[in-house]
């Protein structure tokens, strides 16, 4: 069990980031990560050799989608938005970060997942394809559409975002 903890523990911060981006509620994200880790530990003997990170992200995404189907809509919280910036930062940057988060939340789930995994978690297209169980070409297509929608959304947003989405992978 100690070996298992050594393998899984370094993945927890990335899982929390992804879950928080999906749910936008810190407590719900922590619950989702805990559920993911419990499922991974139970299924560990049946796990096939391969990318542990992709396997854990796939479990998290599947648990998230099961919750969406069960509830038919997730309440979007503002708690995660408040953690993006602290009180001492530039207010315009805080608004820009909120615009980005709102834009991500407005994306269709399949585009949101691809964008978060590539841009935030820095996964390769192959890793994302493994997590989502889709071809690499589909990953590229969804990412392109997500970036296009984000550009359009941010062009309509009332504030200027100083950062940009990564264009090359």
Q: Which pTM was predicted?
A: 0.68
The pLDDT assigned to 74 comes to 41
Two tokens, residue 148:
């296009």
Q: What is the DSSP string of the chain?
A: -HHHHHHHGGGHHHHHHHHHHHH--HHHHHHHHHHHHHHHHHHGGGPPSS-HHHHHHHHHHHHHHHHHHHHTS-PPPSHHHHTTS-TTS-HHHHHHHHHHHHHHHHS-HHHHHHHIIIIIS---HHHHHHHHTS-HHHHHHHHHHHHHHHHHHHHHSSS--SS------
The pLDDT assigned to 40 comes to 92
The pLDDT assigned to 75 comes to 44
The pLDDT assigned to 168 comes to 42
| pLDDT tens over the chain, length 169 residues | 567 788 899 999 999 999 998 888 899 999 999 999 999 999 988 887 888 999 999 999 999 988 877 775 444 443 443 444 443 455 555 556 677 788 888 899 899 999 999 988 989 999 999 999 999 999 999 999 999 999 888 887 654 444 555 444 4
Cα 48 from Cα 95, distance rounded (Å): 44
The pLDDT assigned to 162 comes to 46
The pLDDT assigned to 139 comes to 96
The pLDDT assigned to 91 comes to 53
The pLDDT assigned to 60 comes to 94
């Amino acid at each position: 069990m100690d070996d298992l903890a050594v393998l899984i523990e370094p993945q927890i911060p990335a899982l929390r980031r992804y879950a928080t981006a999906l749910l936008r509620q810190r407590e719900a994200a922590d619950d989702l990560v805990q559920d993911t880790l419990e499922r991974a530990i139970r299924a560990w003997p049946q796990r096939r050799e391969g990318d542990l990170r992709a396997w854990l992200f796939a479990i998290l995404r599947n648990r998230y989608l099961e919750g969406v189907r069960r509830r038919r809509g997730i309440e979007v919280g503002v708690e995660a938005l408040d953690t993006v910036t602290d009180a001492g930062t530039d207010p315009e940057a805080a608004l820009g970060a909120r615009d980005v988060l709102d834009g991500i939340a407005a994306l269709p789930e399949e585009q949101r997942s691809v964008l978060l995994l590539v841009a935030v978690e820095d996964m390769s297209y192959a890793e994302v394809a493994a997590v989502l169980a889709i071809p690499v070409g589909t990953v590229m297509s969804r990412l392109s559409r997500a970036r296009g929608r984000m550009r359009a959304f941010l062009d309509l947003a009332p504030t200027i975002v100083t950062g940009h989405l990564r264009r090359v992978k």
